[in-house]
Amino acid sequence: MRRQLRSRRAPASPYGYRSRLDDQDEVNQNYLADEEEEAEEEARVTVVPDLEEEEEEEEEEEEEEEEEEEEEAKAEEKGQGQPAGNAWWQRWQIVNEYLWDPEKRMSLARTGQSWSLILVIYFFFYASLAAVVTLCMYTLFLTISPYMPTFTERVKPPGVMIRPFAHSLNFNFNVSEPDTWQHYVISLNGFLQGYNDSLQEEMNVDCPPGQYFIQDGDEEEDKKACQFKRSFLKNCSGLEDPTFGYSTGQPCILLKMNRIVGFRPELGDPVKVSCKVQRGDENDIRSINYYPESASFDLRYYPYYGKLTHVNYTSPLVAMHFTDVVKNQAVPVQCQLKGKGIINDVINDRFVGRVIFTLNIET
Amino acid sequence: MTKKTLEIYSVELSGTKDIQQTDKGNGKEKYRGLKNCFEPRKNHYKEELRKEVDLDDHKLSIKELEKKYDTNIITGLSSTQAAELLARNGPNALTPPKETPEIIKFLKQMVGGFSILLWIGAILCWIAYGIQYSMNTSSSLDNVYLGCVLALVVILTGIFAYYQEAKSTNIMATFNKMIPQQALVIRDSEKMTIPAEELVVGDIVEIRGGDRIPADIRLLSVQGCKVDNSSLTGESEPQPRSSEFTHDSPLETKNIGFYSTTCLEGTATGMVINTGDRTIIGQIASLASGVGNEKTPIAIEIQHFVHIVAGVAVSIGILFFIIAVSLKYQVLDSIIFLIGIIVANVPEGLLATVTVTLSLTAKRMAKKNCLVKNLEAVETLGSTSIICSDKTGTLTQNRMTVAHLWFDNQIFIADTSEDHSNQVFDQSSGTWASLSKIITLCNRAEFSPGQESVPIMKRVVVGDASETALLKFSEVILGDVMEIRKRNHKVAEIPFNSTNKFQLSIHKTDDPNDQRFLLVMKGAPERILEKCSTIMVNGQKQPLDKNTAEAFHTAYMELGGLGERVLGFCHLYLPADEFPETYTFDVDTMNFPTSNLCFVGLLSMIDPPRSTVPDAVTKCRSAGIKVIMVTGDHPITAKAIAKSVGIISANSETVEDIAKRLHIAVEQVNKRDAKAAVVTGMELKDMSPEQLDELLTNYSEIVFARTSPQQKLIIVEGCQRQNAVVAVTGDGVNDSPALKKADIGIAMGIAGSDAAKNAADMILLDDNFASIVTGVEEGRLIFDNLKKTIAYTLTKNIAELCPFLIYIIVGLPLPIGTITILFIDLGTDIIPSIALAYEKAESDIMNRKPRHKKKDRLVNQQLAIYSYLHIGLMQAVGAFVAYFTVYAQEGFKPSILINIRVEWEDSNVNDLEDSYGQQWTWYQRKYLEWMGYTAFFVGIMVQQIADLIIRKTRRNSIFQQGLFRPQYWFVAVPFAILIWVYDEVRKLFIRLYPGSWWDKNMYY
């Protein structure tokens, strides 16, 4: 009777066990369980009651397949009270076996040999890939000079930036409340440390004004830099007025031009800075003092040779001292560079050749 | 025999009722599985069948009928009555299967597959913008645009998929309209022709030979009417109809004609008793639409694939969201990363690509006479592992054809190929002359007029199948049969009827010297032999002795054993003295001899296999596809055809064959020895599902004979339990549940009914089995090519994904933007991946086993790992090298890029230093970033070209497969150079002579 039943069932479920394992593979690969498989699960549950009777008759069956089914059947019995927990238990068992199958000594459905082969293959594959990448990058660096960028057209024309800079281009402060402007002063002081006269005199040379400071010779040679002393900034140097005019409602703002390797302003025509009200009443700013008084970047600070060789290069600055600005109202200011070869009207980039900020000084 | 089939049929039709009785009766769970497989539809079945049982109009007298339907058989309904009834009961047409509303279908496309993921992406974009906006009202609209693009992608792919689906269903709509049906009806005492749709219950309709019965009708008066119920029962034997009530069951009684069946000959008047969906056929059709449509294998595969990719996308997305948050990125940034990861992971264009690929193949298949209704069925055919094929019409030519002749003690073989071109048997014998005369004269079939230009075998004939066969046979051999008949004027005739089993006619001969009448007779061989006392051998009359009788019997048995229908022929020249020229023959009193005739020969007919079928079956076999024949025909005929087409191969035997060969009882035979099995519907009925499973697994060659279409459903379910992908062919309305149940239902385009075509996924326009094989080939090819397409498409996912991961972890400037990714997925990658669909097969795909539904996945582990971790990774690395090159050449060496992200993206930092100490404004950096996108994009593109080339093959070398010959690339090169040079010259002259005539005319 029993034999008969078995043989009758055998052809019906040749894939029964295997396909379940297969399904599980996929469940593991893809934790989102397929609906399809869920449906199968259900189907299996409906079949189990039939099997159960058979399994109960003889519990000792050594074949692996049988074991599996028995386990299921037993689990089924146990879990009759809590069918959900049962299903999870089954799943857990299968997952567990997938992770480590003691019988076949397989983990994740692979034997140790298979795993080690995979590791070896991947090691060599990725090692050679890494070698190729290294080779590529090495060749790349061979073609790139450390002193001069291959292309500079993206960074030209020069951009402009101001100091103090506190992640905002709106200068809002109340003259009578030092807390509102103290950070500008700290920022400026910090920024100007590198321009201290003593430091400049020690590190840099005093080169003749009005002409390029050209240092031909070997690329690798260290280049000298021209002095730009803090004292050039006069009232905005923070030497006489340590608050840079913020305490009196006459703030100093420093303007610098972005460094570009090899950039030379037009000869004899240094780049000038001029500021005005961007929008609104022209008379909101009644006077601006520029330091150095020429309001220009002297030619001797050009060209720049790059940071590798031009170590102590100090960017020239122009300080704008807003001595008489309308108070208690936001004044948009636009400072532009002027000179040949300078572009200051790029629509998309509001920092090329110009800078726009607002002053809102409260008293 | 006919009656017997009907019994089987009816039992099956009320299958569940039967089962329940057995259950109650003896508790033996014989039908347990059977019941199981019916269970979900039990109520449905019951309901439908009860209605059917209620039908008792066939038992009523005409008077009662008139009363019941408030009509008059002479005057018919009045047109007002008819209009009223029409309004109440609806038109007399099969309602197409219930369709989900278009909007639901559309919405389904909108949320299916990856769409939901992309919607999430889009919504995240808008949320991100919302957060940005709340922090800074002047924030850029990039995220809004991206969200809109994503939404647009989803909507467009949705519309595309929807359009594809709608297109394939539209084909059916046109099909429905292709069959205009008119009905001749009596209304207001007038005969009029109206569209069959307008028929109502109680209408009196007239039917003539050739008409299709326009509704279920109760026959009132009948003149020699025969109907072909094949669409209903699958039985092509014509069935006589009469107006008498002959059987309790409405399906078997002779006085009911069924909607959509054909009246072959005769005329009849009937009263409409059921219309539209309430007809028997309508009930079956709605039953069929109740059977759930199985998901196609390719749909399952794609779902599987979507799950994998979506799983990867979601898990990586969430993982990196968590990483990003724990790296103290802002939630907003993290959301943007998430969007990027989703967009990078989802192959947005792939589903559209798959659809296009499938529809290209569908188009190709349509040219090969496989009209694909459901696009996904294209591939299903390729993974088919069992084909359950009809016999009639699919494997055979669907016409009786003379196959063998026996005269002069010899069996001759006639040509049964489609055109009968070479009949090579010996035609010199005198016996043949006589036989041919009998064949020609004792035949009532006639060609329909006006077909002189049509090949003989294709002409339309009025008459039954056997007579048609004989007519065509004699027309081919002897020439103008009508002329011969005219010359041999017919003076009397007794048509064939089932009691006599013979047909007789008496002719004047065309021999002017011979004044005798010729009596010719044909019929069932044993009946004919009874009437004979002599036999003609080599043109000479000989007495019919024992030996010749024996020879006759041997020949008769042999031909019968081939499953052929055998007819005997005899004749007698009536002595001129007894029957002078003026003699009047009276067929009622039979004033002429009908015995002691001269036996001339036997002739056997069969519906021969199509000539292409054996080859196709062999191909199926080598392709690992099991072909099972399921037919309503007699087992012997079925077996004979199965043998001749190779479904039962030449050297395999059934249990019965072995028993016969070894002269032992059938029970003693070891069942394992037999490879083939012929199972009749009766046997099948008694089988438990387990036995059926055993049968299906143990025998490789199976023929199911005498099965009802309902049993087809059981067979299909049995096959599906073997994990097989089952293709089923069918034409009758009753096949439609099986067609629907099958993984791929194939309806016959010529013989198929509307319901079958509706239920099927594919329509064979030429009803030819061989077309299925070409379909299988295309299906397998498309599966292989889809694999290539997907592998190609998945590869770049890693290259698209890595930038985001690196961006988050290492803080490089973003190497590629989301929009750029979309551009790759939806722009540059679409056409190459579609092109892969045209790839030719690498090896003989018809020589391997069909794929295993569960094991041979479209996207398997190997494909995913190879695409992602091997090629994809190389591609990503390659693209990164391109990216680093751009940055390094502009001044940002890789070392400085690390963790530069925050400053890089701060639009207030306008003096960011690069490796050379140069300072960059935000916009300048942005511009550089876009250059980086381009470099990365180009990097991917260049490598995708290589990827495309490698994906052409999976095993063979590209050089074996062949590329576009590279030398052709260079043919146009001189012209390219010419263009360049010419334009340089143009510009040179413009520069040299500004303002000149040249400048004015050539400068643009």
pLDDT in tens, B787-802: 999 999 989 989 999 9
What are the residue ranges of helices labelled H in chain A?
2-9, 16-29, 35-57, 64-78, 83-99, 112-143, 178-192, 197-203
Q: Are residues A280 and A196 in the same domain?
A: yes
Shortest distance between the Cα of A21 and any Cα of chain B, in A, equals 11
| Residue A339 confidence (pLDDT) above 50 | yes
Q: Which residues are CB-neighbours of B474 under 8 A, at least 6 positions away?
A: B436, B439, B440, B443, B481
User: In the structure, what pLDDT confidence band is assigned to residue B335 with cuts at 50, 70 and 90?
Assistant: confident
Contacting residues of B for A122, CB less than 8 Å apart = 869
Residue A231 lies in a domain: yes
Q: Nearest-CA neighbor of B695 among B710, B680, B709, B707?
A: B680
User: In the structure, what pLDDT confidence band is assigned to residue A72 with cuts at 50, 70 and 90?
Assistant: very low
Q: Nearest-CA neighbor of B394 among B628, B622, B702, B712?
A: B628
* B511 tagged catalytic: no
Cα–Cα distance measured from residue A167 to residue A172, given in angstroms and rounded to the nearest whole number:
13
Q: Which two tokens stand for residue A50?
A: 């039939």
The last residue of one of the domains, among A144, A178, A207, is A144
Cα–Cα distance measured from residue B562 to residue B587, given in angstroms and rounded to the nearest whole number:
35
Tell me if B723 and A15 make a contact (CB, 8 A cut-off): yes
Q: Nearest-CA neighbor of B869 among B817, B798, B963, B789?
A: B798
∠ Cα B860 B862 B866 (to 5°): 125
Q: Which two tokens stand for residue B529?
A: 């032999």
- Residue from the list B308, B873, B914 with its beta carbon closest to the beta carbon of A30: B308
| Residue B35 confidence (pLDDT) above 60 | no
Residue A66 lies in a domain: no
Please state which of the ranges B117-121, B255-259, B479-483, B497-501 shows the lowest mean pLDDT. B497-501
- Residue from the list A133, A261, A355 with its beta carbon closest to the beta carbon of B916: A261
C-alpha distances in Å from residue A126, one per residue of A122, B874, B895: 6, 9, 22
Q: Which two tokens stand for residue B298?
A: 């390719």
Q: Are residues A109 and A166 in the same domain?
A: no
C-alpha distances in Å from residue A289, one per residue of A185, A191, A243, A245, A286: 18, 20, 16, 12, 10
Residue A151 lies in a domain: no
Give me the pLDDT at residue B168, please: 54
Give me the pLDDT at residue B393, please: 74
Q: Are residues A102 and A133 in the same domain?
A: yes
Q: Are residues A185 and A270 in the same domain?
A: yes
Residue A53 lies in a domain: no
Give me the pLDDT at residue B290, please: 62
Cα–Cα distance measured from residue B197 to residue B86, given in angstroms and rounded to the nearest whole number:
9
pLDDT tens digits for range A163-178: 888 778 888 999 988 8
Give me the pLDDT at residue A8, please: 39
- Residue from the list B854, B919, B924 with its beta carbon closest to the beta carbon of A349: B924
Q: Are residues A189 and A136 in the same domain?
A: no
Q: Is B37 helix (H, G, I), strand (E, B) or coil?
A: helix
Tell me if B854 and A352 make a contact (CB, 8 A cut-off): no
Q: Is the dihedral of CA B952, B956, B962, B966 positive or negative?
A: positive
- Ranked by mean pLDDT, which of A230-239, B112-121, B274-283, B408-417 comes out on top? A230-239
Residue A130 lies in a domain: yes
**Average pLDDT of the segment spanning A296-312:** 89
Give me the pLDDT at residue B559, please: 87
More confident residue, B179 or A89: A89
Give me the pLDDT at residue B633, please: 78
- Ranked by mean pLDDT, which of B183-187, B600-604, B631-635 comes out on top? B600-604
| Residue B691 confidence (pLDDT) above 70 | yes
Catalytic residue among B211, B216, B333, B390: B390
Q: Are residues A336 and A227 in the same domain?
A: yes
Cβ atoms of B283 and B55 within 8 Å: the answer is: no
Q: Are residues A308 and A194 in the same domain?
A: yes
- Residue from the list B693, B913, B917 with its beta carbon closest to the beta carbon of A12: B693
| Chain A CB within 8 Å of residue B308 CB | yes
| Chain B CB within 8 Å of residue A256 CB | yes
pLDDT tens digits for range B467-498: 888 888 888 888 888 888 888 888 888 887 76
Give me the pLDDT at residue A142, please: 92
Cα–Cα distance measured from residue B313 to residue B340, given in angstroms and rounded to the nearest whole number:
10
The last residue of one of the domains, among A78, A111, A144, is A144
Buried b (16+ CB within 10 A) or exposed e, B279-317: bbbbbbbbbbbbbeebebbbbbbbbbbbbbbbebbbebb
Residue A34 lies in a domain: no
Please state which of the ranges A131-135, B126-130, B335-339 shows the lowest mean pLDDT. B335-339
Cβ atoms of B702 and B227 within 8 Å: the answer is: no
Tell me if B854 and A19 make a contact (CB, 8 A cut-off): yes
Cα–Cα distance measured from residue B448 to residue B471, given in angstroms and rounded to the nearest whole number:
12
Q: Are residues A186 and A224 in the same domain?
A: yes
| Residue B428 confidence (pLDDT) above 90 | no
Give me the pLDDT at residue A5, please: 41
pLDDT tens digits for range A185-197: 999 999 999 899 9
User: In the structure, what pLDDT confidence band is assigned to residue B287 with cuts at 50, 70 and 90?
Assistant: low
| Chain B CB within 8 Å of residue A288 CB | no
Shortest distance between the Cα of A11 and any Cα of chain B, in A, equals 6
C-alpha distances in Å from residue B72, one per residue of B77, B166, B214: 7, 46, 19
| Residue B986 confidence (pLDDT) above 90 | yes
Please state which of the ranges A259-273, B87-101, B905-919 shows the lowest mean pLDDT. B87-101
Q: Nearest-CA neighbor of A263 among A337, A333, A212?
A: A212
Q: Are residues A255 and A106 in the same domain?
A: no
Tell me if B311 and A31 make a contact (CB, 8 A cut-off): yes
Q: Which residue has the tokens 């395999």?
A: B652
- Residue from the list A9, A144, A306 with its beta carbon closest to the beta carbon of B888: A144
Cα–Cα distance measured from residue B950 to residue B958, given in angstroms and rounded to the nearest whole number:
7
Residue A74 lies in a domain: no
Give me the pLDDT at residue B888, please: 93
Q: Which chain A residues in 155-174 lie under 8 Å from chain B, judged by CB atoms?
A: 155, 159-161, 165, 167-169
Contacting residues of B for A31, CB less than 8 Å apart = 311, 315
Question: What values do phi and psi take at B961, rounded to 5?
Answer: -75, -35
Give me the pLDDT at residue A66, please: 40
Q: Which two tokens stand for residue B383?
A: 């993974």
Amino acid at A166: A
Cβ atoms of A77 and A52 within 8 Å: the answer is: yes
Look at the pTM and tell me if it is higher than 0.80: no
Give me the pLDDT at residue A332, please: 92
Q: Is A343 helix (H, G, I), strand (E, B) or coil?
A: coil
Element (H, E) at B5: helix B2-13
Which residues are registered as beta bridge partners of A23?
none
Q: Are residues A122 and A226 in the same domain?
A: no
| Residue A139 confidence (pLDDT) above 90 | yes
Cβ atoms of B654 and B674 within 8 Å: the answer is: yes
Give me the pLDDT at residue B709, please: 66
Q: Which two tokens stand for residue B913?
A: 């230093």
Cα–Cα distance measured from residue B440 to residue B92, given in angstroms and rounded to the nearest whole number:
43
Cβ atoms of B69 and B271 within 8 Å: the answer is: yes
User: In the structure, what pLDDT confidence band is assigned to residue A83 with cuts at 50, 70 and 90?
Assistant: low
Please state which of the ranges B420-429, B610-619, B628-637, B745-754 shows the lowest mean pLDDT. B420-429
The contacts found for B540-543 with CB under 8 angstroms, 24 or more apart, are B540/B430, B541/B598
| Chain A CB within 8 Å of residue B697 CB | yes
Domain that includes residue A320, residue range: 156-361
The last residue of one of the domains, among A118, A144, A170, is A144
Which residues are registered as beta bridge partners of B603?
B405, B567
Cα–Cα distance measured from residue B502 to residue B496, given in angstroms and rounded to the nearest whole number:
5
| Chain A CB within 8 Å of residue B117 CB | no
**CB-based burial label for A60 (10 Å; 0-12, 13-18, 19+):** exposed
| Chain B CB within 8 Å of residue A4 CB | no
- Neighbouring C-alpha atoms within 13 Å toward the C-beta of B641: 35
Q: Nearest residue on chain B to A129, judged by CA atoms?
A: B874
Cα–Cα distance measured from residue B285 to residue A362, given in angstroms and rounded to the nearest whole number:
87
| Residue B514 confidence (pLDDT) above 60 | yes
Which residues are registered as beta bridge partners of B789?
none
Contacting residues of B for A258, CB less than 8 Å apart = 910-911, 918-921
Residue A61 lies in a domain: no
Cβ atoms of B534 and B560 within 8 Å: the answer is: no
DSSP state of B841: P
Q: Nearest-CA neighbor of B537 among B409, B628, B411?
A: B409
Give me the pLDDT at residue B232, please: 66
Q: Which residues are CB-neighbours of B818 under 8 A, at least 6 positions away?
A: B146, B339, B340, B343, B344
Q: Is the ipTM of this complex over 0.90?
A: no
| Residue B991 confidence (pLDDT) above 70 | yes
Q: How many residues does chain B have?
A: 1004
β-bridge pairing B386-389 and B726-730: parallel
Give me the pLDDT at residue B879, please: 94
| Residue A357 confidence (pLDDT) above 60 | yes
| Chain B CB within 8 Å of residue A266 CB | no
Cβ atoms of A148 and A219 within 8 Å: the answer is: yes
**Average pLDDT of the segment spanning B671-681:** 84
Q: Which residues are CB-neighbours of B74 under 8 A, at least 6 positions away?
A: B186, B189
Q: Which residue has the tokens 């008459």?
A: B463
pLDDT tens digits for range B184-232: 888 888 888 888 888 888 888 888 877 778 888 888 888 888 887 766 6
More confident residue, B656 or B975: B975
- Residue from the list B697, B881, B891 with its beta carbon closest to the beta carbon of A149: B891
Q: Are residues A202 and A341 in the same domain?
A: yes
More confident residue, B807 or B418: B807
Q: Are residues A195 and A276 in the same domain?
A: yes
More confident residue, A339 or B929: B929
For chain A, how many structural domains are there in total?
2
Q: Nearest residue on chain B to A353, judged by CA atoms?
A: B921
Give me the pLDDT at residue B26, please: 39
| Residue B861 confidence (pLDDT) above 80 | yes
Shortest distance between the Cα of B124 and any Cα of chain A, in A, equals 22
Cβ atoms of B713 and B689 within 8 Å: the answer is: no
Cα–Cα distance measured from residue B718 to residue B735, given in angstroms and rounded to the nearest whole number:
16
More confident residue, B752 or B615: B615
Cβ atoms of A255 and B908 within 8 Å: the answer is: no
DSSP state of A231: G
Residue A328's CATH number: 2.60.40.1660
